[in-house]
Structure 1
Amino acid sequence: MSSKTSKVGVIGAGNVGANVANALVLLRKCVRVVLFDRTLSKAEGQAWDIEDSIPLLEEMEIIPSNKYEDLADSDVIVVTVGIQPKRGQSRLDTLSDNAEIIRSTMKELDRVAPNSIVLIVSNPVDVLTRIAITSSTRAENLIFGSGTVLDTARLRYQLGKRLNVAKLDVHVYVVGEHGDSEFVVWSSAFIGTIPLAEFPIPQGATLEQIHQEYAELTRKRGYNISERKGNTSYGISIAVCQLVNSILRDEKQIFPVSARADSSYGVGTEVVFGLPCIIGSIGIERQLLLPRNADEQRLLEESATKLNLAYNSLDN
């Protein structure tokens, strides 16, 4: 797979889908983007607007479409379609409607692009990724969700600012549901090579206060943004671009994506949620076992129980 000949499909020309397509063009992560939407005029409007930036950048191609056939031979297909939560709703409140959308989408993708890597971004992303896996004929490593990639990026950036270190030196993961039951694995947090528990904390703060403050920030950040502007789109679009980049360039970066849990996590092997995985040219190259303490294991089990209940509430 080469970024010089790469093709990325984006399904859904709404706020997230259009921003993903725009970010792929701005950052030149591939050479061809197909922006698919059932309403062709919507795809055209977004694609043409993005296309107008190309003369000021490097040569690329963005193609609007309402035909699944145009997604054939895509290296990666990003799925962003679905009903968005209304004010006061959680991501799981949209599950019933979005489950059927994902099933029908995967059926079409299996028909026209059976070898493409499928990246689910639609919410609730963990349960929808599980539905995509169970309803598709393609190998499981070719399907994963955006998981807690954005949540982890938010945490690393804000914590880095608080500790006055570069975000690249903040090594900590948010795992579990991309939603209310997600949590920070503080016991495995490092600043550079120094455990967070041993790192100098700014005066006036305690380690416990930092844990609580940044766990809350991570959980509520998306809701706080949506309350103010109606949706989130910029952050997730860049997170998606980084995942696409790791696939197309076979970079084998580690991201906490939505994937079926390995048995070593002790939560069964059916639940799908954010866990650290190596992402490369075949999608999920390998899932990693993140060390955690007893309290974190309990939180992981609670998140798994919540997502299993949501999945089992559907007429599968």
Structure 2
Amino acid sequence: METRRTKLALIGIGAVGAAFAYALSLKRLVNELVLVDLDKNRAEGEAMDLRHGLPLIGPMEITAGEYEDCVGADIVVITAGANQKPGQSRLDLLRTNTRVVTDIAKNILKLGGEPIIIVASNPVDVLTFDLLKQTGLPKNKIIGSGTVLDSSRLRQTLAETLQVDVRSVHAHVIGEHGDSELAVWSQANISCVPLKYFFAQRGVPYTEETRAEILQKVRGAAYEIIKRKGSTSNAIGVALCRIVEAIIKDEKSVLTVSTSMKGIHGLPDVCLSMPCVIGENGIEAVLESLLNDEECEALHESAKVLRKHAEDMGLV
């Protein structure tokens, strides 16, 4: 049986795009990778650099190109847009990056086909919502990177706090990829042991203050990294690679990506992150988390923030 070739187009070769392309090449998840950027020299340089490592990894076709070279792409990943600056929130980027992503969407639509589009540009939730409106593609085909990275940050912070293997930590962040996101503490566990019991066994206070401090570390992680190195790139590159892997391998993995949430938990028509089943068809199911009253209220507050920004942009 012949294995189907897989083609991925990456739009935007800044720090995030380059980190994602590198992670993708190491895992060799696709047969063909096309890099597209307004700075053509940058795209060509990254493609050359990646190709030079292939003799140590394995065969893969990596090229720099134009939009027309993206024809036939199974997956399109968008990382293009203005960078978040020190002291700037993700939502401050809204107007600039909405124009950028809308323009990209128009160019992608001209190519025909129906690729799965993954958006990583910020503010990712509003941009995902915008793409759903602009493209008319089925909602399972438009995926925002959402809180996949935030959930990973929460797991890492809990692992460090409790001195346990991060792979044993099961916890997720939902809502906006931004300052109103929330951790689902009520369902978090360490290999099926509820957090409050594991904290007690480790002699660490499991208080409201402790949880608030951990969540603030997660929410503020990007700001701290930007302050030190100018941008976040490596972890979001890995997060994007994880989403692509779930699609390519039809894993049915549960990841907290951003998509339309109308009706879920009684939410309005917004895009935000909830646990979703990801497979070869993109988002195959949206799962309603078991939230307590406090978490449900926080989720609705997060949705209000995103709804207001969508309204300000005339998207609803």
- Partner residue, 2:40: 40
- Partner residue, 1:31: 31
> Relative to 1, partners in 2 of residues 1:113 and 1:251: Cα closer, same or farther, differing over 3 Å?
farther
- Partner residue, 1:21: 21
- Partner residue, 1:208: 208
In 1, Cα distance between equivalents of 2:70 and 2:40: 14
Per the TM alignment, residue 103 of structure 1 is displaced from its structure 2 partner at its CA by 1.2
In 1, Cα distance between equivalents of 2:134 and 2:60: 33
- Partner residue, 1:284: 283
Question: Does the CA contact (< 8 Å) of 1:106 and 1:135 recur in 2?
Answer: yes
**Cα deviations by residue, 1:16-60 (Å, 9 ceiling, x for unpaired):** 111111111012121211111123212101111111111221111
- Partner residue, 1:227: 227
Per the TM alignment, residue 4 of structure 1 is displaced from its structure 2 partner at its CA by 5.9
- Partner residue, 1:12: 12
| The 10-residue stretch of structure 1 (179-188 or 259-268) with the greater mean CA deviation from structure 2 | 259-268
TM-score, normalised to structure 2, is 0.95
> Relative to 1, partners in 2 of residues 1:307 and 1:243: Cα closer, same or farther, differing over 3 Å?
same
**Cα deviations by residue, 1:38-97 (Å, 9 ceiling, x for unpaired):** 2321210111111111122111111101x2111111111100011112221101001001
One-letter amino acid matched to 2:44:
E
Question: Does the CA contact (< 8 Å) of 1:150 and 1:235 recur in 2?
Answer: yes
- Partner residue, 1:123: 122
One-letter amino acid matched to 1:116:
P
One-letter amino acid matched to 1:272:
C
- Partner residue, 2:133: 134
Question: Does the CA contact (< 8 Å) of 2:36 and 2:64 recur in 1?
Answer: yes
Count of residues in Structure 1 that have an aligned counterpart in Structure 2: 313
| The 10-residue stretch of structure 1 (11-20 or 235-244) with the greater mean CA deviation from structure 2 | 11-20
Unmatched 5+ residue regions in structure 1?
A: none
Q: Please give the secondary structure, in 2, of the residue aligned with 1:286.
A: strand
> Relative to 1, partners in 2 of residues 1:283 and 1:204: Cα closer, same or farther, differing over 3 Å?
closer
Question: Does the CA contact (< 8 Å) of 2:159 and 2:169 recur in 1?
Answer: yes
For residues 99-248 of structure 1, what are the structure 2 equivalents within 5 Å?
Answer: 99-201=98-200, 202-248=202-248
In 1, Cα distance between equivalents of 2:45 and 2:264: 47
One-letter amino acid matched to 2:296:
Q
In 1, Cα distance between equivalents of 2:203 and 2:189: 19
Question: Does the CA contact (< 8 Å) of 1:110 and 1:138 recur in 2?
Answer: no
Question: Does the CA contact (< 8 Å) of 1:12 and 1:79 recur in 2?
Answer: yes
Q: Please give the secondary structure, in 1, of the residue aligned with 2:18.
A: helix
> Relative to 1, partners in 2 of residues 1:165 and 1:4: Cα closer, same or farther, differing over 3 Å?
farther
User: 2:265 aligned with 1:265, yes or no?
Assistant: yes
> Relative to 1, partners in 2 of residues 1:287 and 1:204: Cα closer, same or farther, differing over 3 Å?
closer
Per the TM alignment, residue 3 of structure 1 is displaced from its structure 2 partner at its CA by 7.6
Per the TM alignment, residue 114 of structure 1 is displaced from its structure 2 partner at its CA by 3.0
In 1, Cα distance between equivalents of 2:28 and 2:3: 9
Unmatched 5+ residue regions in structure 2?
A: none
| The 10-residue stretch of structure 1 (192-201 or 222-231) with the greater mean CA deviation from structure 2 | 192-201
In 2, Cα distance between equivalents of 1:17 and 1:225: 17
Q: Please give the secondary structure, in 1, of the residue aligned with 2:231.
A: coil
Question: Does the CA contact (< 8 Å) of 2:149 and 2:239 recur in 1?
Answer: yes
Question: Does the CA contact (< 8 Å) of 1:110 and 1:137 recur in 2?
Answer: no
- Partner residue, 1:52: 52
Q: Please give the secondary structure, in 2, of the residue aligned with 1:179.
A: coil
TM-score, normalised to structure 1, is 0.95
> Relative to 1, partners in 2 of residues 1:138 and 1:206: Cα closer, same or farther, differing over 3 Å?
closer
Aligned identity (percent) is: 39
| Two-structure CA RMSD over aligned residues (Å) | 1.5
**Cα deviations by residue, 1:233-262 (Å, 9 ceiling, x for unpaired):** 000000000100000000010001011114
> Relative to 1, partners in 2 of residues 1:113 and 1:154: Cα closer, same or farther, differing over 3 Å?
farther
- Partner residue, 1:296: 295
One-letter amino acid matched to 2:303:
A
Dislocated runs of 4+, deviation >6 Å: none
Per the TM alignment, residue 206 of structure 1 is displaced from its structure 2 partner at its CA by 2.9
Q: Please give the secondary structure, in 2, of the residue aligned with 1:138.
A: coil
One-letter amino acid matched to 2:215:
A
In 1, Cα distance between equivalents of 2:3 and 2:30: 5
